[in-house]
């Protein structure tokens, strides 16, 4: 299962990540990562779109040595990318398996 941290947008009220990103597939990246836009996938840039309240995802990504995580609608991790160059391949693999 993927962590469910508290996040803030522009200093606003802290909300759960799912309340910000909604349902469906989510690609969570660090702010410095340029992620491709993909149909059916919500891209959330941590430190860009939202800021973590407690650094749960920052620690999770450091522990898993990744800069991005693709999360299924049931909140299980489909896969991770160790570098920005691996993100497109991760998305392509998701689409291949969904066909």
Per-residue model confidence as pLDDT tens digits over 1-20: 899 999 998 878 999 999 99
pLDDT tens-digit readout, 36-57: 777 789 999 888 889 999 999 9
- The residue ranges of every structural domain in the chain are 6-98
* Positive/negative CA dihedral, 51, 43, 19, 80: negative
Does position 31 have pLDDT exceeding 80, yes or no? no
Judge: domain 6-98, CATH 3.30.200: no
| pTM for the whole structure | 0.89
């Amino acid at each position: 299962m993927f962590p469910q941290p508290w996040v803030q947008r522009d200093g606003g009220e802290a909300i759960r990540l799912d309340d910000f990103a909604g349902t469906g597939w989510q690609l969570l990246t660090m702010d410095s990562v340029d992620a491709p836009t993909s149909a059916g996938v919500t891209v959330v840039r941590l430190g860009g779109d939202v800021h973590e309240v407690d650094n749960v995802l920052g620690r999770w990504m450091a522990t898993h040595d990744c800069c991005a995580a693709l999360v299924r609608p049931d909140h299980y991790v489909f896969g991770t990318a160790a570098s920005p160059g691996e993100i497109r391949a991760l998305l392509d693999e998701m689409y291949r398996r969904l066909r």
